[in-house]
Structure 1
Amino acid sequence: MSMFGRLFGKKKEEITAEEAINQLRDTEAILIKKQEYYEQKIDEEIATAKKHGQKNQRLALNALKRKKHHELELSRIDGTLSKLEAQRAALEDAGTNAEVLKVLADASKSLKKANLDLDIDKVNDLMDDIGEQMQDSKELNDAISRPIGDVADEDDLMDELRQLEEEAKQAPSLPSRQSDQEMDTLSDLPTVPSGPITRSKGKVQKQDTMAELEAWAAAN
């Protein structure tokens, strides 16, 4: 038996990636508990050293020595944990990559099978047929929507156009835009009464309107 055989004994069966990840997690949990233990012991030794201080230097120094030992063990555990976490992360990534590759392989097989069921010539014929049907439908819609006969005589339309142009020439030109000040002045004018006005009622309303105009002029 070789040296490695004597050290590790009989070769074990290979484990799956999931089993290895679970074992790493269990080991990490044990090491984390050891971390907590040594951190607590370090705090206790510091408290002991402070307690004795100059009163009993021997006890204080022994406490500090034990603290150093605990710190060394804690540092080793930290290094081991880092390695275990890195290995577990690598295994998890490998498992994820394997799943991704499996999905890609399955998708490729499905796509290949789907393409086998399709005939490119039949697809081209189908697309040509669809194009022809759409063209026929367009021509049919155009034929249905086309007006029957002329809607108006062309001479009548020309006479109407000349009449409109003549009216446009004779219409008085109005300013296209009033200034903001003029608009504000118009908005301040009193409201013109609406509805039928009798002679007596119209006289009263006229007086009221004149009074409002005089008040507005005095204010401005």
Structure 2
Amino acid sequence: MSKLFKGSSSSISSSHYPSSSRSKHGHRSRTGPTPQDAIHKLRETEAMLAKKQDFLEKKIEQEIMIAKKNGLKNKRVALQALKRKKRFEQQLTQIDGTLSTIEFQREALENANTNTEVLKTMGYAAKAIKGVHQNMDLDKIESLMQDITESQEVAQEICDAISRPFGDSFDEDELLAELAELEQEELEESMKNMGRVPSVPASKLPSSRPSERTPSKKRVEDHDEMQMLAAWAM
């Protein structure tokens, strides 16, 4: 009896726990389908159910025609046709619900697959950015920026030195002050000369009756007077 129970217990344990025995022997566990495979299967199922919908709709139309033809002639046949129509309508309603569920699953799976691909791409980009930044040293970057700033300052100093004019440099304020003094001296000299105006002879003075003179003689006298005044001013 003990041998019998031992044998049965061993057989029961081996039959009830097949996965554990296979895992001990190192067999590979079965993996699930990929999202692409699942989406493909769902689309195939949708197409199959859509064809069945068309078939049921045609059957419903046929049963309605049979019921119409036999409504007065053969009531039993007409009633049977209506019963079949009702069953077809129930199946059609069930297929509509099944299609809605499958469409929801497919859309959810497609969205999940899209999100997965987006996350993979973002992770790939993050690794690339990390790899680029890994070769950068902040201390070296700051030192480089300081070198660039110093180079720009040196370049500006060189430009200023090149653009500086050669020769002696004079104070513009001093030059303006000296010019003002010269102008004042010139004005004072002119005032002194005006105080020593020479007497002009009566014969050189213009006549009180200009109408008695000819125009050519007046121009000559004006010219002579201008020369005398110019000589006096010098």
Question: Normalising by the residue count of structure 1, what TM-score does the alignment of the two structures yield?
Answer: 0.53
Q: Could you tell which deviates more after superposition, 17-26 or 114-123?
A: 17-26
* 1:75 equivalent in alignment to 2:93: yes
Provide the C-alpha distance between the structure 1 equivalents of 2:157 and 2:36, rounded to a whole number of angstroms. Answer: 66
Is 2:38 the partner of 1:24?
no
- Mark the runs of 5 or more structure 1 residues left unpaired by the alignment: 3-10, 156-220
SS in structure 2 at match of 1:14: coil
Assess, with a 3 A threshold, how the Cα gap between structure 1 residues 13 and 132 changes in structure 2: closer, same or farther. Answer: closer
Q: Quick one: distance in 2 between partners of 1:134 and 1:23?
A: 67
- After superposition, give the CA deviation of every residue in 1:48-93 in whole Å (9 maximum; x if it has no partner): 4444555655444433332221111011111111112222222222
Question: 2:124 is matched with which residue?
Answer: 106
Is structure 2 residue 82 aligned with structure 1 residue 64?
yes
Aligned residue number for residue 193 of structure 1: none
Report the CA distance shift for 1:117/1:101 in structure 2 as closer, same or farther (over 3 A): same
In structure 1, what is the Cα distance between the partners aligned to 2:67 and 2:165? 108
Percent identical residues: 49
Rg bigger for which structure? 2
Q: Does 1:116 align with 2:126?
A: no
Alignment RMSD (CA, Å) = 3.3
Q: What runs of 5+ residues in structure 2 fail to find an aligned partner?
A: 1-14, 17-28, 178-234
| Separation of aligned partners in 1, 2:94 and 2:31 | 30
Q: Distance in 2 between matches of 1:34 and 1:119?
A: 67
In the alignment of these two chains, the number of paired residues is 145
AA of the residue aligned to 1:40: K
> After superposition, where does 1:1-220 map in structure 2 within 5 Å?
14-52=32-70, 57-141=75-159
2:51 partner letter: K
Residue equivalent to 1:186: none
Deviation per CA, 1:123-169: give whole Å up to 9, x if none.
1111122223334444545565677889xx979xxxxxxxxxxxxxx
